[in-house]
């Protein structure tokens, strides 16, 4: 059976980076969880700024492509997804992510 083209969020919007306080595209932010990001609406090419931070939105609806565009490693992305699935809460800061990753390294489960 041939693979069909599915309508997914990846076909509708694409994250391109972080937004500063004025909504302008910037290369880096102090805390990735407390910052808004810029995305492009693929159909129109319009640039928009997210309404919510990742601390509020979480990672379960964020494609890995967009997480990588925001500077998250695959390891970080997978740990964040697992955290959200098991705790029903979102990481709120870089410090919380560092603690989560330190715990994962201290007690790996294979």
Does residue 44 or residue 8 have the better pLDDT? Answer: 44
Residue labelled with tokens 């699935």: 85
Residue labelled with tokens 């997804």: 81
Give the strand order in the sheet containing 25-26: 25-26, 13-19, 37-41, 47-49
Where do the domains of the chain lie? 11-106
Cβ pair 67, 31 in contact under 8 A = no
Model pLDDT for residues 52-77, shown as the tens digit of each residue: 999 999 999 899 999 999 999 999 99
Model pLDDT for residues 29-57, shown as the tens digit of each residue: 999 999 999 999 998 999 999 999 999 99
Average pLDDT, the chain: 89
pLDDT at 62: 92
């Amino acid at each position: 059976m041939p693979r069909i083209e599915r309508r997914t969020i990846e076909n509708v919007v694409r994250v391109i980076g972080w937004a500063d306080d004025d909504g302008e595209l910037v290369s880096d932010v102090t805390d990735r969880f407390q910052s808004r990001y810029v995305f492009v609406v693929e159909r129109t090419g319009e640039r928009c700024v997210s309404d919510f931070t990742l601390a509020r939105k979480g990672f379960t609806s964020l494609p890995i492509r967009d997480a990588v565009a925001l500077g998250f490693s695959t390891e970080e992305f997978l740990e964040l997804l697992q955290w959200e699935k098991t705790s029903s809460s979102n990481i709120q800061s870089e410090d919380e992510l560092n603690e989560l990753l330190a715990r994962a390294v201290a007690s790996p489960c294979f």
